[in-house]
A = this chain, B = another copy of it.
């Protein structure tokens, strides 16, 4: 068990190695961030089967370093996934803080579609990680649902989104849609627009 998956050991966010002892050395923290970013890039470019060597090379470090930060291939997948969820949650918070209720819904759902589509490149790997660690799935699902509900609920409160659907409903609708491998960026945006029209409360 490495210290890196704080996610599965507690409620902390993923990928950020805040150990209880002294803080990480500056180079270690820098490399940790680099590695996650590199992994995301390589997965996107080469698919879920990308090799550990390729990830280390992309990050400009040796494989030893990669393995010290993430003891297992699956830990890399988890870390990338967790930071993706972090980003999504952050997007929701920002949207709620900066935008009017309806534009916030639009912005968040667009981000959600991008997020869900990004998962397609390493869906198999993710499924494997979930199989081996069901808690991870539940944790992440909960966080994503929370964000969705935050944005949708606020818009419902403001009277601009119909109240007979929940954030969870929307997720169940949009998520699987994006998982479909044969779905173009453009197609998904058209469908999203349709969904948004259906979601908006007729004035």
Contact = CB atoms under 8 A, between A and B. Distances in A.
Contacts of A128: 124
Q: Majority SS of interface residues in chain A? A: helix
Contacts of A127: 124
- Interface size on A, as a range, is under 10
A1 interface: no
A197 interface: no
A181 B131 contact: yes
A128 B128 CA distance: 13
A130 to B, nearest CB: 10
Interface string A31-70: 0000000000000000000000000000000000000000
Interface of A: 124, 127-128, 131, 181
